[in-house]
Amino acid sequence: MSAEQPGAATPFELVLVVPEAAIEAVGEALDALDALSVSVEDADAMTEAEQALFGEPGMPPPKEGWQRSRVVALFPDEAGAREAAVLLAAQDFFDGCRVQGVRAVPEQDWVRLTQSQFEPVEITPTFWIVPSWHEPPAQAREVIRLDPGLAFGTGTHPTTRMCLRWTATHAPVGPRVLDYGCGSGILAIGAAKHGAREILAVDIDPAAVESTRLNAEANRVALQAGLPDAAKGEHDLVLANILATPLKVLAPLLCAHVRAGGHLVLAGILARQADELREAYAPWLALEVSDEEDGWILMTARKP
Ligand SMILES: C[S@@+](CC[C@H](N)C(=O)[O-])C[C@H]1O[C@@H](n2cnc3c(N)ncnc32)[C@H](O)[C@@H]1O
């Protein structure tokens, strides 16, 4: 197999120069943006400013980056790498960082590499995300079939997993569900597997909308997918796994889409951002932290 095979997108690298103060936030954001891998090296390597970075023997280095790190993040395709560059540039922590380039990564067996990185993912003991090249585990009763593709959301990221887990543990969810920032459509499909019947999925990225339609079809789920303008009406459940900054901007809009008695479920939020999110949503809903994984939190509220 090779990258030239029909259907195999060419992977792209996003190359960033990041000061030490921003390295942790950039790393977390790249993780949230579904980078396949992230490597960090000294941006000043082979110059007079080169710094050695050592840890205790057998221990990790004492810090995560150099004074200026060169961060190389691998994405499955060009759209993913470019979207990550745009989303990162909009974050407050990105001040002082620089996008050095977005470039194709040639001549490797990316299909096999990608497949080897995606194993079935357990959401609950009976709810699994399973790539098409795997058999579902015997104990799986609800299964989403999903392969890594153009859009974020394969179930490997804690933010996605927490949203899916919430949906599974609150099943059956009400019939009307809005997935805002749908990416691959994984949350919408997960809601369909747990009781939702009228599902609307929206995203600013047309590639995500298309990906959601295809993934829904592959999972025999009926839903409507479109750009954010398509979000209309009130819903029993509104799910939004975006990053903290856009979630704050979207607060009035997302709250308006929740019916009285309905639920709002937000992810893409770091534990240290809980208070700012709570404050941003306070005029409409009282958010609380209802799950936490790897430093990411799930914030939820029920509309009175
Ligand atoms: C972190 S991904 C989440 C994808 C999927 N829902 C999941 O949970 O895995 C965030 C998605 O939100 C979309 N997005 C970002 N800002 C948005 C906005 N203002 N309105 C709608 N979608 C947005 C991005 O294009 C991306 O597909």
Confidence of residue 57 (pLDDT cuts 50, 70, 90): very low
**pLDDT at res. 238:** 98
Average the pLDDT over 284-299 and give the result. Answer: 96
71-80, 121-130, 267-276: range with lowest mean pLDDT: 71-80
- Ordered by where they begin, the domains of the chain are 12-107 (3.30.70), 117-302 (3.40.50.150)
User: What pLDDT is attached to residue 131?
Assistant: 87
Give residue 54's pLDDT.
36
Structure tokens at 177: 């569900």
| CA dihedral of 19, 22, 23, 27, whole degrees rounded to 10 | -140
Q: Residue 247 Cα, ligand 1 centroid: separation in angstroms?
A: 10
pLDDT of 123 above 70: yes
Distance between CA atoms of 90 and 217, rounded to whole angstroms?
A: 33
Closest-CA residue, ligand 1 atom 4, reads: 183
Nearest CA to ligand 1 atom 12: 181
Task: Identify whether the C-beta of residue 178 lies closer than 8 Å to the C-beta of residue 138.
Answer: no
> Can you give the pLDDT at residue 109?
53
State the distance from the centre of ligand 1 to the C-alpha of 229, rounded, in angstroms.
Answer: 14
Cα(159) to centroid of ligand 1, in Å?
11
Mean of all residue pLDDT scores within the chain: 86
Strand partners for 98: 17
For residue 267, the ligand 1 atom closest to its alpha carbon is 8
Pick the atom of ligand 1 nearest to 164's CA: 8
| Predicted confidence band of residue 239 (pLDDT cuts 50, 70, 90) | very high
The confidence score (pLDDT) of residue 87 equals 92
- 197-227, pLDDT tens digit by residue? 999 999 998 989 999 999 999 999 999 999 9
Mean pLDDT of 148-157: 73
> Does the predicted model carry a pTM greater than 0.80?
no
Give the per-residue pLDDT at 115.
61
Q: Is 164 helix (H, G, I), strand (E, B) or coil?
A: helix
Percent of the chain with pLDDT over 70: 84
- In the prediction, which pLDDT does 113 show? 60
Nearest to 183 by CA among 251, 83, 85: 83
Cβ atoms of 278 and 287 within 8 Å: the answer is: yes
**CB neighbours of 297 closer than 8 A, spacing ≥ 6?**
162, 267, 269, 270, 271, 273, 274, 289, 291
Q: Which of the two residues, 148 and 98, has the higher pLDDT score?
A: 98
Cα(193) to ligand 1 centroid in Å equals: 21
Angstrom distance (rounded) from CA 61 to CA 54: 5
Instruction: Tell me the per-residue pLDDT of 15-35, one tens digit each, with 9 for 90 and over.
Output: 999 998 998 899 889 988 888
Q: Which atom of ligand 1 is nearest to the CA of 250?
A: 19
Separation of CA 223 and ligand 1 centre (Å): 17
266: pLDDT strictly greater than 90: yes
What is the reported pLDDT for 46? 44
Q: Who lines ligand 1 at CB under 6 A?
A: 32, 151-153, 160, 163, 180-183, 186-187, 203-205, 208, 228, 241-242, 246, 268
Closest C-alpha to ligand 1, atom 18:
204
Considering only CA atoms, which residue is closest to atom 23 of ligand 1? Answer: 181
* Size (the chain), residues: 304
Ligand 1 atom 25: residue of nearest CA: 205
Residue ranges at the known binding site for S-adenosyl-L-methionine: 160, 181, 203, 241
CA 54 / ligand 1 centre spacing (Å): 37
What pLDDT is stored for residue 116 in this prediction?
62
